[in-house]
Amino acid sequence: MPDAPQPFHPHTEPAAIEDLRTRLRATRWPDSPGEAPWSLGIDVGYLRELIDYWAGEFDWTAQETALARLPRFRAGLGGTGIHFVHARAVAPRGRALPLVLTHGWPDSFWRYVKVVPLLTDPGAHGGDPADAFDVIVPDLPGYGYSDRPAAPVPDARAVAGKWAELMSLLGYPRFAAAGGDIGSSVSRFLALDHPDRVVAVHRMDAGLPVFTGDPASLSQDERDWLDATRAWGAAEGAYGIMHRTKPQTAAVGLTDSPAGLAAWIVEKLRAWSDCGGDVERSYTKDEILTNVTLYWLTGTIGSSMRMYQANAAIPPGQHARRVEVPSGFSLFPGDIQGPPRSWLDRVANTVRVSEPARGGHFAPFEEPEIYAQELRDFFRPYREFRG
């Protein structure tokens, strides 16, 4: 039986912060080649500026206190302790729709902290109180404040099973699901394996394409998208190959060096966000460093990367399954390679596709108001099925 949820209030010892600052001040810097900034990965000049701020001005205690305003819990699911936010709707008109939101890499529940109040209390943020949700935001196993699982590391399908168990534990027989990145895959498997419980599923992407059929059966748009995705993988996908094949090699350096950890994460925040090349157009230094510091203090960069290897081992037949639960997609312009409608119809019972004007891979954090409205609009017809 799962463990009953217990309130969770983490507190960081001052010695851990002092150790972090000592390591930051002792960073051994690489040279900066004469290439254009960011063209070979992290811009060392920008990273130096960020590390100086992290070591001297960043106030983790203030950020930890701000995160503590969310109602947070831990529960044991199948032997794994899972940390999650469980925020109930504020003064809903009727029963609120339960919604489980799943993040991806390189983040945690951090991805959704800005949208929680917009979803639980839409009336206070320019929305209709009838659109209120009970919001559940778990940290994936091996991420954030959830346990780092021993082998075998759960893949996205196994995590979906844990989320179904969590929703039962919280008293929700039927619920909605949404996510992006790895969270998109988890939400997909929730809809595939628990269609009697998931009323509808919303995703920010359709995942990297897996297609083993005859290419002639694809539309031209689909073929073009597959080609573009392969080109993106060749230019930008080296991190994923490392995660899938030799994550422990990278984990040694990233767990030991906070500057290395920041480089690994911040380069992706910039590349995958709708920031026009300026990462601080989407995030403040405090916001960036809150995400990175969560990884540092929990020591989860290695365990987060290992999930890529688990997901790579999912059998192709699982990728070929079509989602029959009503599905919606919000394709943000700054995200990675948005799929064409023909592909979305191929892989899911797609009832709504939208292309918001702004936002990227981390849209719930970059553009919380837009993302919250996307969820309100998509799930509105399915509220009568709430459990």
Decide if 308 is catalytic: yes
Q: Compute the mean pLDDT over every residue in the chain, rounded to the nearest whole number.
A: 95
The C-alpha atoms of residue 170 and residue 225 are separated, in whole angstroms, by: 40
- Bridge pairing between strands 175-179 and 198-203: parallel
The C-alpha atoms of residue 208 and residue 345 are separated, in whole angstroms, by: 15
Alpha-carbon distances, residue 62 vs 65, 116, 154, 211 (angstroms): 5, 19, 33, 47
pTM here?
A: 0.96
Local confidence band at 1 (pLDDT 50, 70, 90 cut-offs): low
Active-site pick, 83, 86, 243, 361: 361
pLDDT higher than 60, residue 258: yes
Residue range 114-126: average pLDDT?
96
Q: What is the pLDDT of residues 318-372, one digit of tens each?
A: 999 999 999 999 999 999 989 999 999 999 999 999 999 999 999 999 999 999 9
Active-site pick, 112, 145, 239, 308: 308
Sign of dihedral through CA atoms 45, 284, 108, 65? Answer: positive
Residue range 29-47: average pLDDT?
91
**Is the separation of the CB atoms in 283 and 274 below 8 Å?**
no
Residue range 293-299: average pLDDT?
98
**Is the separation of the CB atoms in 373 and 127 below 8 Å?**
yes
**Is the separation of the CB atoms in 120 and 134 below 8 Å?**
yes
Which token pair is 119?
A: 């979803």
Which distant-in-sequence residues (6+ apart) come within 8 Å of 336 by Cβ? 205, 232, 236, 272, 361
Decide if 181 is catalytic: yes
The three-state (H, E, C) secondary structure of 272-301, written as one string:
CCCCCCCHHHCCCHHHHHHHHHHHHHHCCH
User: Which strands, in side-by-side order, build the sheet including 198-203?
Assistant: 6-7, 72-77, 80-87, 133-138, 97-102, 175-179, 198-203, 323-330, 348-354
State the amino acid at position 387 in one-letter form: G
Residue range 137-153: average pLDDT?
95
pLDDT higher than 70, residue 385: no
Residue range 132-142: average pLDDT?
98
What's the pLDDT at 386?
A: 47
By percentage, how much of the chain surpasses pLDDT 70?
A: 99
What's the pLDDT at 95?
A: 80
Which token pair is 349?
A: 């019972």
What's the pLDDT at 128?
A: 92
What's the pLDDT at 35?
A: 79
358 versus 152: the higher-pLDDT residue is: 358
The superfamily in CATH containing domain 6-23+37-385 is: Alpha/Beta hydrolase fold, catalytic domain (3.40.50.1820)
Residue range 94-116: average pLDDT?
96
Q: What is the pLDDT of residues 68-89, one digit of tens each?
A: 999 999 999 988 999 999 999 9
Decide if 361 is catalytic: yes
pLDDT higher than 90, residue 3: no
pLDDT higher than 90, residue 151: no
Which distant-in-sequence residues (6+ apart) come within 8 Å of 116 by Cβ? 70, 85, 87, 135, 137
Residue range 248-271: average pLDDT?
98
The C-alpha atoms of residue 241 and residue 129 are separated, in whole angstroms, by: 45
Local confidence band at 36 (pLDDT 50, 70, 90 cut-offs): confident
Active-site pick, 107, 134, 147, 181: 181
Which distant-in-sequence residues (6+ apart) come within 8 Å of 345 by Cβ? none
Local confidence band at 387 (pLDDT 50, 70, 90 cut-offs): very low
